[in-house]
A and B are shown apart, each in its own frame.
Chain A
Amino acid sequence: MDNLKSWGNYPNLPCQTVLRYSDLRKKLPYSGTCPFLPRGLGRSYGDSCLNSNGKIVEMTEEDYFIEFDALNGILTTRAGISFDQILKMIVPKAWFLPVTPGTKFITVGGAVANDIHGKNHHSAGCFGNHILSFKLLRSDGQILECSDSENRELFLATIGGLGLTGIILEVKFKLLKLSSSFIEQQISTFYSLDQFIELSDAQNGSAYTVAWVDCLAGKELRGIFFSGNHAASNERSVDNFQIHKRPKLNVPISLPEVLLNGLTIRAFNEFYFQTQKRKNSLSRIHYEPFFYPLDSIANWNRLYGRRGFLQYQFVVPRTKEGFIALNQILSLIKASRMGSFLAVLKMFGEIPSKGILSFARPGITLALDFANTGDNLLALLNRCDQILLEVGGAVYPAKDSRMGHKMFKASFPRLDEFLSFKDPQISSSFWKRVMNE
């Protein structure tokens, strides 16, 4: 039995049995006593990639390229391949991922199952919006081709479906054409939520926008607003399509929890804010630090120590009530003195997400990290849920480790539709928790 963890190292759940995909395949139709869960690189923060007292099917060996149409930018891969591997292959050929989250160490299967979004949501939607088709393996052994024109309902249930509808085997999706591997980045500062909204609207024409916020200092929110576009080619450069390098820094072991506390976090926030403020407002940087600043420190989650951390990411609608709710949540957090040095704020766009359980929708999303300080943190987050419930907000399953059934149902009003597509032999700790099973 293996004690697998998720990215936040929380919750710490009883052991799971790990199976290789090649071994599971021989046992289909599945008649095991406990349900299984396909798993990629385990970068979900909470328990959506855990299956306590159940089986986990490791998909990372399914990391093959199947076909690459370099002319039209269409890539087909097995689901276990990582975005990191894909970028190394496609960037030198002048292509990029259509949507990428803040880390490249996720699998294609995980990207589909969480319908991940990125800094370009306002211009490109989610990953699911760029999928042409995928092959899905059900526990009865059937392999189904899914797309907008074939098994469409299963297609839409699987996008954002957290791996619960079957094992995604291979995915065909569209890429984005590049002129270089560099980004033209613009940095501005803001000192209130209103200023953030103004900046988001003003920069809506940029391909990528995101803000880092310091929610602990002062009365009002302050932050750094980043916007970016893929840069044109630089004829003088010999290496226009440089790929990224392996991370040089590593946190080899879990650090003592005392290192990341209210004081150190506030100090970091101040330091980060001041240094970013001083940077040139316009610059040309490689895609690596723009999209993946945290990837430069391997295993950075260990900075939070053994007890781990929780991430709370939610979205509020773009209405007066939504903004009030956002401000209320920010005040609650500031008052709690439970720090977050990685708070990311973004304006989602209007492009509808495809999946029944897709999280991204029009509004403002905020993602916050909290060291796992136990019951008082859980109580705080429950209070935040209450605020969200009143305004029709939603919490992101890929980051969640504690929301209850009420919040889950409210976040995904079409949950009942999803139930008929869930595979009866697949489950996860997340599912058991939010469905009170």
Chain B
Amino acid sequence: MNILVCISSVPDTTSPINFIDDNKKFDNKNITFIINPYDEFCLTKAIFIKESVGATITVIHVGDNTNDPVLRKALAIGADKAIRVNQPARNSKIVANCIADYCQNNSFDVIFCGKESIDYNSGQVPGFLASKLNLPFINGCINLEIEGQSATLKREIDNGHEICKCSLPLIVAGQKGLVEEKDLRIPSMRGIMTARTKPLDVIESQIDNENLIQVIQYDKPLARSECKMISEDNVEQLVELLNQEAKII
């Protein structure tokens, strides 16, 4: 079984978010970059599948060499090989096109993406991939059992859950639930040592990369004004303020 896990490199959750170059670029000075948390659930799930039925796990990332550490970490966690497509990830379509291009020449039974990356929150790459490769797309995936050439999956849908069945190959957008947080694999000493011998191949993007959608400007939300404190003995005042000032009730 061949599994592909798509990895994004994102600023750590507690990173300050600031912009430079006249608010046209994210300021990544002193930022710690991590594997996108949703992708980590997918990577651990891939490892569970490998341990249960046997598989080769490839991780792929679209970006420049500053993100190699994140790929090495994925190898240390348990992936077998890493691919970096050397192409700036300017928008989701470009990322998906690069990954799809790689998939045309390498067949995979399951392609995992995290539900969305915590920086842009677009969640578009798995859908674009499914479209480009003409494969079934299961999003919001919180459980997956492989049975031979098909899979039974559980999805979180708007306001509920779905159980569905689909034959392989397929594309899964995964999130918490695919594995439990306490079961997430982390790099062991052995993992880190063996990661050095695992391949990290850099390939150049072969396709014409349309750049028709781009961010032209970033802004930060206005800071909230200072919190108005209300005495616990005068809760009625809160109700008044919510009605008169905030105009909500």
A and B interact physically: no
